[in-house]
Amino acid sequence: MSRPLPANPIKLGDLTLGSPQPLICAPSPSLSAIYRWAGLLPEQRPDLFEWRQDLSIINPIFPSILKLIFSGMSPLPMPLIITRRRQQEGGTAKDSQHRVNLLLACAPIASGIDIELESPYRDWLITALPSEMPLFVSWHNFAGTPPLADLQRIITRAAAVRGGRNIAVKFAAMAHTAEDATTLLQAVEWGRREGFDGPLIGIAMGAAGQHTRIEAARYGCDLTFARVEAASAPGQMTVAEVRRGLDITLRS
């Protein structure tokens, strides 16, 4: 089946976020895993790698140390998203200007950078980054799923960041019931139809929302998260499971 696509896709390395085939991103706190995972069989290999820098043992006080580490690295084998998730949204990093400085230090190796919609340092980061650096403007609620109208307002606010240019909007909420998962899918559908003309990522976390990690592609979700090793959020399936599921869903 054809699925609704964004009018303004964005480039992540040599990949397009917003193409007919949704992308699969796998997170890890270990940056070196990107080299191991690149050698996996195609059905097990993610399209993108998310480095959860807030969980990494590579967590220096000074951004200059990160730059020194990166200078000795081999070329990355797949596009890389950098995330230093703040404590208020399920991460371990204190939301501060220092967190933003570390994100900026990671920019030379990044294909995209995640910044939370609600972070008071969001605009400071955007001002410091070059406009060609893709941004994932994200919002997370690990307690539950807000009403559809609230999710629509979140999408609208996120879509306005940086004037909507070269950004992807990501929203994830914990689903406790089937109704919660349906609300999330309705938000993706609304977002694609009238909320935002760039790439959308909508996820219902938890067991009740697990199917949305595949089914949301029908409604206009352009990327989903899966695991190669340990899960980084409730309800994550393996890359192979998601790839099979997407293939079935988009062919039916």
Look at 39-48, 81-90, 226-235 and tell me which has the smallest mean pLDDT. Answer: 226-235
Domain total in the chain: 1
Boundaries of domain holding 246: 10-251
User: Which among 134, 119, 108 has a CA at the least distance from the CA of 23?
Assistant: 134
pLDDT of residue 191: 97
d(CA 180, CA 186): 10
Task: Indicate which CATH number applies to the domain containing 205.
Answer: 3.20.20.70
Task: Report if residue 4 sits inside a domain.
Answer: no
What 3-state DSSP class applies to 135? strand
* Confidence band, pLDDT 50/70/90 cuts, at residue 235: confident
Task: Report if residue 1 sits inside a domain.
Answer: no
Task: Report if residue 199 sits inside a domain.
Answer: yes
The distance between the two most distant Cα atoms of the chain, rounded to a whole number of Å, is 51
Task: Report if residue 124 sits inside a domain.
Answer: yes
CA distances from 182 to 5, 153, 207, 241 (A): 20, 17, 13, 21
* Confidence band, pLDDT 50/70/90 cuts, at residue 1: low
Q: Which token pair is 121? A: 């340092």
d(CA 102, CA 100): 5
Task: Report if residue 131 sits inside a domain.
Answer: yes
pLDDT of residue 251: 85
Q: Which token pair is 137? A: 């403007």
Task: Report if residue 31 sits inside a domain.
Answer: yes
pLDDT of residue 70: 86
